[in-house]
Amino acid sequence: MKILVTELMWDDGIEELRKKGYTVDYDMELSRKRDELLQLVPEYDALIVRNETQVDTEFLDAAKKAKVIGRLGVGLDNIDLEAAKERNLPVIAAKNANATSVAEYVMAAMLDASRPLSDADADVRRGNWDRKFFTGYELNKRTLGLVGMGEIAHRVAKRARAFGMKVMGYDPFVAPFDHVVQETGVHPTETLDELLSESDFVSVHVPLTKGTKHMINKDNFPLMKPHAYIINSARGGIVHEQDLVDAVQSEKIAGAYLDVLEKEPVEKGSQLAQVESIRLSPHIAGLTDEAQSRTAMLIAQEVDRVLNGGKSICAAV
C-alpha cells in the first residue's frame, strides 16, 4: 500500500512505515502545490498531513482510495471533519504528543517577558551596562490565566505552580471536579472577562471554532492589566490581531507572544511585525525534536493500525 506525506514529518516515522512494508512518498512542500497535490491524492491508501494542507471536500473527493488521514499535530481546523465522517474516512491526530513542548514554550515566553535576557545581551554588546533598565520581576506570586483547560493547559499549570504562580482557568466545558481543577490546583473562573482582568499572563489553549474566533478582542482588552501579556500558542484568529496591535500601542496591555497567526507565514508589512513588544515565532511551540519524533511515530503506528483493519486510539472521526 502507498502513503503520501504532504508536509514536514520526522524521519523516524517515515522509516517506521517503510519497515512495515509501505511505499512512502514524501514531499514536505506539497501542501503549497495544490494542483499537483490533487493529481497525486487518488493514488494513495493513506494521507499524512500537517496544518497547511487543506483537507476540504475537493481534497476528500480526490482521495478515492484513502482509508485513513493522519494529522501530524492536534489542530484539526484545516480538515473538514464532517465531510470526512460522511465518507467514513477516519482522521487521526497526534493526541498529546507535543503537549509538553507547548507547555515549555509558554513558560519560556513568561520567563522572557519577566527577564528579557536576549535584549540584555544585545544591549551589553553595544557597550552598555544598564542594570536598572534590565531589572526584571519574578514569576513567583504572579497570576497566569489559562483560556481553555485541556491537556496542554494542565501541563502549563503544573509548571507555573512550580514557579510559585497562581493559576486561573476559564473553560465552560470543565466541571468542578475534573482533574485540572482538583489535582492541578487551577482556580476556575465563571467568565472570560474575570480571568482577563485578574491575570498577569493570559495563555490561550482552545481550538479555533466559530465560537472561539476573535474571542479576545477590543471589547475585553481594556479589562486587562496594563502590564499583562497575551500568549497564543493555539491557533491564529482566536486573538483579534488588529485589536491586539491597538491595545499594545495604546498601552492597554504590555505585549504578546504569538506563535500562530491568522495568515501564516506573516504577511509583508504586517503591523504585528512592526510592534516590538509583540514577539512572533513561526508556529514552533510544539516543534521540538522530542515532540516531532513522538508525533511522527504515533501517527505512523496509528495509520498502520487503521490500514490493517483496526481502530485508532487517536481518532478524531
Active site amino acids: 235, 264, 283
Rounded-to-integer distance, Cα 82 and Cα 69, Å: 14
Which residue is it, cell 495604546? Answer: 250
Contact between 236 and 216 (Cβ < 8 Å): no
What's the residue count for the chain? 317
Residue 138 burial by CB count (10 A; 0-12/13-18/19+): exposed, middle or buried?
A: exposed
Nearest by Cα to 51 from 67, 36, 70: 70
Please report which helix (H) or strand (E) contains residue 279, including its range: strand 278-280
